[in-house]
Amino acid sequence: MLREEDVIFRSNGSVRKRTKAPPPESGKKYRPMGDIMRTAKPVCPVNEDYYSYIRCEQCRSGEREDELVLCDRCDMGYHLYCLRPIAVRVPVGPWFCPSCTGGRTVRRFPQLQKMIVDFFRIQQLTNAPEDEELRAFHSEVRKRRRRSMPLVRHKKMRRILPFTPSKDPKQRLEQMCSLATALTALQMEFCNDLTYMPGMAPRSANKAIYEKGGMQLLAKKDKETLEICRTMYRRGECPPLVVVFDACEGFTVQADKDIKDMTFITEYTGDVDYLEKREDDDCDSMMTLLLATKTSQSLVVCPDKRGNIACFISGINNYTLEGRKKQNLKCVRYNVDGECRVLLVACRDITRGERLYYDYNGYEQEYPTEHFF
């Protein structure tokens, strides 16, 4: 007997019986949970004794447990200083050992002029690395050197020199390609300025007058040097540096030609944020920008998403004489037009092929460098 709800009246007056919907297509069949539990092998409960037998897979030692990290996939342990490259801090979030990551190789950035121009947002690529403005600057420096003045006074008036780009356009392209490769591998964007992002410290917070004890002013002539270097970079005339990958140190920077003492290398750039927000951050490239009297006003530069070649320059080992001898750059914070800026400047002559190093603890003795090479 047909029920009223089982009858469908068509528009032409005919009657059709409602049929049952076909059963859904059967997909993957899953075993009942009861069967799974009956056949599953018993697992030992994880407690303190479970981790007491963890050893470093590299040095086979279980000492210094506070510097021992466990892989989130295979549970194997590694000391921070036994990893290559060395891990400075215990990572925040999931971490996988070298065996589980598969030892992925770095993909080289295409050495194509158009792609380099777009990546670095170069305004005008030029083949003449030294223009009229730069030649005039070097001429003035030579005239000043010829003037007679006491040695002590001469040292007090030492000026920052602009970097001299490589003359060969192909060599400059190779240098910029190496930097683009490193930034791309870390999923970073190139940025040659301090950036102020929503949710972080605003530009109005970067005031040099907040610095505890005051901050040294950048001299007028040195500001001119800084602007000359920034102008050269915008034209595709980069400092003579190349980024290389080292199995022990990771990405690092070396000179691609001889560099004179007091030469401007680069400015430390990236996102500006409050120090108190980044105290538990695992980014190992943060740089102090402002040490304010009020801790809540202190700022850091965080090149984890945006930055330039500065974040790839290595730090020295402060705990050994050999480590301190490697230093060839100094990191200086300046008051530039009322804002804090961080500049990296050569502190001695640097030869071609020499790697660049500076002291990570130039202002605070808080960065762990005892395991640096």
SS3 330: strand
Closest CA to 166 of 130, 213, 210: 130
Give the tokens for residue 8.
């469908």
Closest CA to 373 of 304, 326, 303: 326
Question: Can you give the pLDDT at residue 37?
Answer: 76
Question: Can you give the pLDDT at residue 267?
Answer: 96
pLDDT in tens, 92-130: 667 778 777 765 556 777 778 888 889 888 876 555 444
Block residue for tokens 């194997």 = 76
Q: How many whole angstroms separate alpha carbon 344 and alpha carbon 12?
A: 87
The string of DSSP letters for 256-300 reads: SS-B-TTBEEEE--EEEEEGGGSTT---TT-EEEE-BSSGGG-EE
Q: 242 and 251 in contact (C-beta within 8 Å)?
A: no
Closest CA to 309 of 202, 180, 187, 215: 180
Write out residues in the chain with pLDDT < 50, as ranges.
2, 9-17, 128-130, 148-149, 151, 153-155, 365, 369, 371-373
Question: Can you give the pLDDT at residue 11?
Answer: 47
Note the Cα 163 to chain centre separation in Å. Answer: 22
Domains in the chain and their CATH numbers? 44-104 (3.30.40.10), 113-358 (2.170.270.10)
Sequence-ordered alpha helix ranges (H) in 125-242: 132-146, 151-156, 169-185, 220-234
pLDDT in tens, 2-12: 455 555 544 44
Read off the pTM.
0.69
